[in-house]
Structure 1
Amino acid sequence: MIALVGMAILLSCNSAPEKMNADPTPEELMQMNKDFAKALNAKNAKAAAELYSEDALLLPPGETIITGRENIQKYWQSGIDQGISDVSVSTMATGGHGDTGYEVGRYQLSIRDTSGKVITEIGKYVEILKRGEDGVWKSTYGIWTPDSTSFTAK
């Protein structure tokens, strides 16, 4: 009997942390895009790409699908090389269950067009996020679209 009680106590101490199975908080889901904006504003494509899962898909408007973290880093480096700056995000909605979540929001950024003029792009985005074994949320699917094809020149 004592052995059974001891075994029960031992097994209860080995249970996985409940946090990993808990539903995500809005703050957890919003953090990825806050860090993303910070990385792009710092001109750090590697840090931006690290916010995506290894096998993530990026679905940019009017372009082919970008597959995998390495290609996502190249994509964002190209944006940085084109002068992307003043990136900001604003969350409209979040939700999720267990280790899967989503964030819907608005973004604004500045970038140089082909003539070299700085333009402001405003649009919306959706991120599907997964919580890794380390507890960190990463984007697995990211899609965005500008509000219009005509942009505001600065």
Structure 2
Amino acid sequence: MIKLIVTSFLSLLIMPTAVLAGDLEAEIRAIDAKVQQLQNTGDAASIAKMYAHDGVRLPPDGSRIEGREAIQKSFQDAVDVGVTNVKLELTDVNGQGDIAWSIGTYSIDVPTGENEISTFTGNYTIVYESDSDGVWRIRVDTWNDDAPEE
């Protein structure tokens, strides 16, 4: 359950924003920075608003999370267990028309015991859609954890 909550807090991972002048990569990088801020301040409600009304999260080893209310709950669950220090690193972005996608890596800190913090790392993929007002909304996001170190 903690793994689902931890990974639910990710994805982000990326917050939609009004389309600005400039290239798509710069726009997505700005979205990443805003999502990091909201995740690290525990603002699950604002993150959920960045998804399409029928947005979908596909957590590893977990059930499909669909719709803003369920998405907000998944982020709030992560806040409640103490997920902190969310870092997103965009590695690839592309798009065509009103659809864009990104790939990146993440790391997060999660309480794993009394006075213990573990850092989880992994990869994410996000699909965005620009709505009629030119605002990028997350349609689908998914992520996976890196293999544990041995």
TM-score, normalized by the shorter chain, greater than 0.5: yes
Corresponding residue number in structure 2 for 1:75: 74
Cα distance 1:111–1:85, how it changes in 2: closer, same or farther (>3 A)? same
The alignment covers a number of residue pairs equal to: 130
Corresponding residue number in structure 2 for 1:46: 45
Equivalent pair of 1:24/1:98 in contact (CA under 8 Å): no
How far apart in 2 are the matches of 1:71 and 1:33? Answer: 21
Superposed displacement of residue 38, structure 1:
1.1
Deviates more, 1:33-42 or 1:120-129: 33-42
Corresponding residue number in structure 1 for 2:84: 85
Q: Which structure has the greater CA radius of gyration?
A: 1
Which amino acid in the other structure matches residue 36 of structure 2? A
Gaps of 5+ in 1: 1-19
What do residues 27-78 of structure 1 show as CA deviations (whole Å, max 9, x unaligned)? 1233333222111101110111112111001011111010011100000000
How far apart in 1 are the matches of 2:46 and 2:79? Answer: 12
Identity %: 27
| Structure-1-length-normalised TM-score | 0.77
How far apart in 2 are the matches of 1:150 and 1:63? Answer: 22
Corresponding residue number in structure 2 for 1:17: none
The structure with higher relative contact order (CA 8 Å, sep 6+) is 2
Superposed displacement of residue 93, structure 1:
0.4
Corresponding residue number in structure 2 for 1:16: none
Superposed displacement of residue 148, structure 1:
1.8
Match of 2:33, SS? helix
How far apart in 2 are the matches of 1:123 and 1:145? Answer: 6
| Structure-2-length-normalised TM-score | 0.79
Corresponding residue number in structure 1 for 2:9: none
How far apart in 2 are the matches of 1:38 and 1:50? Answer: 15
Match of 1:133, SS? coil
Corresponding residue number in structure 2 for 1:30: 29
Runs (4+) of structure 1 moved beyond 4 Å? none
Q: 1:120-135, aligned counterparts within 5 Å?
A: 120-135=119-134
Equivalent pair of 1:51/1:138 in contact (CA under 8 Å): yes
Corresponding residue number in structure 2 for 1:143: 142
How far apart in 2 are the matches of 1:26 and 1:121? Answer: 25
Gaps of 5+ in 2: 1-18
What do residues 81-101 of structure 1 show as CA deviations (whole Å, max 9, x unaligned)? 010110010110000001000
Cα distance 1:128–1:97, how it changes in 2: closer, same or farther (>3 A)? same
Root-mean-square deviation over aligned CA pairs: 2.1
